[in-house]
Structure 1
Amino acid sequence: MSSSTRDHGGEQPAPEFVQMNNLVCESVGGKVLFATDDWFAAAENLLKKGDPEFKTGLFTEYGKWMDGWETRRKRIPGHDWCIIELGVPGVIHGFHVDTHFFTGNYAPRISVQGACLQENISLPTRGDRIGSAATEEDFKAVERLHSEKWEYLLEMTELTPGYAESCHSYFHVNSKERWTHIRLNIYPDGGIARFKVYGIGQRDWSSCGPNDLEDLLSMANGSVCLGYSDAHYGHPRNLIGLGRAADMGDGWETARRLDRPPILKVIHPILAKLKPVF
């Protein structure tokens, strides 16, 4: 159901689907519901909106501080995985996996499974998970989801280390179905900085009353940015995001035009209506 645009000879060109909405970003309500292990860094970091950081010389009591999800070396049967609830359920067009700064400790392989669940999921609250692993109670609670049987949107495939020229991996998804939850598998362990799920929101309109007012331009209701002239300071898809903007950067701002006149002049009011000045 997926294909890769990987180029082992250098950095991959970003595919067109990255212009769509990130359906799992923390800013639109994406949540990590379960993870097998969060020893070095918690899985919630995968969903951060900002780019990953590296802080030289910063350590926690469990090891080097890393801006991503990093598990311990696997010494028991199996592999590590986590369950992510999409902030905006919808049709998935592609994945972006970023291993930035994870070089010798990156997850060497991943796969992605998906499900469209109708009922609300109740799992133990995760809280601050760094330095911990899933408990027996956690595993029992997540077993009822039977996530190991979810449909594969991406079969097991290799990742590349987190150097600047190789940290970005993009995977196209061909499914046209609606998805609400993702299971991200890493084989057998390791770290990933960011995980993005690009697509188009698909609302379940049966939950909407006949007199309800809805924002038809919201990404949650299926809107997507189809193109733009400039996105120097902010992508125009921010305009259709959920809730209030976090700051000035959480909007659409273009670069200033370089063909503006060096000195602005007042022209006749009638002409100004015909040809606006810069």
Structure 2
Amino acid sequence: MIETKVPAFAELSEFASLGSGGEVVFATDDFFATCENMIADSDPIFIEDKYTEYGKWMDGWETRRKRIAGHDWCILKLATKCVVRGLLIDTAFFTGNYAPKYSIQAACLTPEEEESIPKRISEMGTACNKFDLKHIERLKSDKWDELVPITALRPGYEETRLNFQKVLSDDAWTHIRVNIYPDGGIARLRVFGEAKPELPTRNQIIDLVSLLNGAACQGFSNAHYGHPKNVIKPSKGKCMSDGWETARRLDRPNIIEANDDGTMKTTGQEWAVFKLGFPGHIKQICVDTNHFKGNYPDSVKIEGAYLGRGDWYPEIDANWHNILKPSKLSAHNEHWFDCESDVITHIKVTMAPDGGFSRIRTFGYISEQII
């Protein structure tokens, strides 16, 4: 059996999926399955007896068997301008119909170039028309910088479906072109890296912990059901797996007791550390337990620290100070808290005793020192 080791870059933020803000802007062919499936947030599934009028239903992007000159390709707009550190091309369930080879190119498009892209209509059983192809060719995407050369893919069996690829480039991009040779299917594409957003203006309120503003998860205690990097996505959470959820702590008391303020008396807690996109002052916090109805945390606490330009590691004494004291949460609800922080670069989010939530927002201003 071939074992696929998950590389370190897969712990970085992801910028192609729909939940992160990724978007398909062009595809040569959507015959069996539309390109948007390839960047869906969910894991791919297979329904054995499901067919459409065009053929077998597949949970991914699948083009028709090529009977004209050329090869199939698509253009994706990434969630934000970012440095790409690695990719995952997942061929799950595409066993006799996966794309044999692929390559990736990238560009940083201007607003004017983006405006020139024709409006996409995503529809199964279709291919791009001559008008759209003529307009998209003005971008000369076939000449974009190459991030991944033509590379063989493996079939979508469980032991071979995950095709990871490290990228060696420090440039930042807004769009990528995904080439498949000559046709076939890909179940999912993930693009991992580091956001490089534009600097906000003075007095502009932004979400300092948003993925789109360059925030990133840099450590956590437990991520049994869902990774904490999910909670900084810009979109509303779609389900529990699209949030951060821990296992139930085994040291929780046999009989639950409450403190005077209504929070639980606990013997343990779980935490995650996030680097903010920009150093700044936090003025308001939202903790969203959307979809978490029987498994939300009892309370949440948020601390901040200033680490300059550095990252956080467990060995670092971050000198955390309190921004939000332990505060009671409830099921399937947005919880808003006013606060006032000094200039900080990192936050530590602690839930007690365990559980999960969907999203966190930290609205504030960037430090005047970097404007």
How far apart are the structure 2 equivalents of 1:250 and 1:105?
A: 29
**1:194–1:211 Cα change, 3 Å:** same
How far apart are the structure 1 equivalents of 2:258 and 2:124?
A: 64
The match for 1:133 among 127, 138, 155 is 127
Query: Is 1:64 the counterpart of 2:64 in the alignment?
Result: no
Tell me the secondary structure at the aligned position of residue 19 of structure 2.
helix
Q: Which has the higher strand share?
A: 2
Query: Is 1:94 the counterpart of 2:120 in the alignment?
Result: no
Query: Is 1:148 the counterpart of 2:139 in the alignment?
Result: no
How far apart are the structure 1 equivalents of 2:96 and 2:266?
A: 57
Whether the 8 Å CA contact 2:97–2:184 is kept in 1: the answer is yes
How far apart are the structure 2 equivalents of 1:130 and 1:146?
A: 26
Matched to 2:25, the amino acid is: L
User: Shift of the alpha carbon at 1:245?
Assistant: 2.7
Whether the 8 Å CA contact 1:69–1:193 is kept in 2: the answer is yes
Query: Is 1:264 the counterpart of 2:255 in the alignment?
Result: yes
Whether the 8 Å CA contact 2:104–2:147 is kept in 1: the answer is yes
The match for 2:103 among 86, 94, 111 is 111
Q: Which runs of 5+ in 1 are unaligned?
A: 1-8, 270-274
Whether the 8 Å CA contact 2:251–2:267 is kept in 1: the answer is no
**1:46–1:265 Cα change, 3 Å:** closer
Work out which structure has the larger RCO, using CA pairs closer than 8 Å and 6 or more positions apart in sequence: 1
How far apart are the structure 2 equivalents of 1:102 and 1:276?
A: 47
Query: Is 1:217 the counterpart of 2:217 in the alignment?
Result: no
Matched to 1:61, the amino acid is: E
User: Shift of the alpha carbon at 1:126?
Assistant: 2.4
Query: Is 1:182 the counterpart of 2:137 in the alignment?
Result: no
User: Shift of the alpha carbon at 1:127?
Assistant: 2.3
The match for 2:23 among 25, 31, 34 is 31
User: Shift of the alpha carbon at 1:11?
Assistant: 3.0
User: Shift of the alpha carbon at 1:138?
Assistant: 1.2
Aligned twin of 1:246: 238
Tell me the secondary structure at the aligned position of residue 139 of structure 2.
coil
**1:72–1:123 Cα change, 3 Å:** same
Aligned twin of 1:272: none
How far apart are the structure 1 equivalents of 2:32 and 2:120?
A: 15
- String of CA shifts for 1:207-263, please: whole Å, max 9, x gaps: x321101222211111111222211121101221114333443321210122445x2
User: Shift of the alpha carbon at 1:108?
Assistant: 0.5
Whether the 8 Å CA contact 1:114–1:151 is kept in 2: the answer is yes
Q: Which runs of 5+ in 2 are unaligned?
A: 269-371
User: Shift of the alpha carbon at 1:267?
Assistant: 11
How far apart are the structure 2 equivalents of 1:70 and 1:154?
A: 21
How far apart are the structure 1 equivalents of 2:257 and 2:127?
A: 68
Larger mean CA deviation between 179-188 and 221-230 belongs to 221-230
Matched to 1:41, the amino acid is: A
Q: Give the TM-score normalised by the residue count of structure 2.
A: 0.67
User: Shift of the alpha carbon at 1:89?
Assistant: 1.8
Whether the 8 Å CA contact 1:91–1:179 is kept in 2: the answer is yes
Aligned twin of 2:164: 170
User: Shift of the alpha carbon at 1:101?
Assistant: 0.5
Tell me the secondary structure at the aligned position of residue 230 of structure 2.
helix
How far apart are the structure 1 equivalents of 2:44 and 2:248?
A: 28
**1:81–1:267 Cα change, 3 Å:** closer
Query: Is 1:43 the counterpart of 2:35 in the alignment?
Result: yes
Tell me the matched-pair count.
264
Matched to 2:115, the amino acid is: I
Over aligned residue pairs, what C-alpha RMSD do you find? 2.2
**1:268–1:101 Cα change, 3 Å:** closer
User: Shift of the alpha carbon at 1:268?
Assistant: 11
Matched to 1:264, the amino acid is: I
Matched to 2:88, the amino acid is: H
Q: Give the TM-score normalised by the residue count of structure 1.
A: 0.89
Whether the 8 Å CA contact 1:24–1:88 is kept in 2: the answer is no
Aligned twin of 1:3: none
Aligned twin of 2:267: 277
Query: Is 1:17 the counterpart of 2:9 in the alignment?
Result: yes
How far apart are the structure 2 equivalents of 1:233 and 1:101?
A: 23
Tell me the secondary structure at the aligned position of residue 74 of structure 2.
strand
- String of CA shifts for 1:17-70, please: whole Å, max 9, x gaps: 111111011012211111111111111111100001111111111100011111
How far apart are the structure 2 equivalents of 1:204 and 1:69?
A: 32
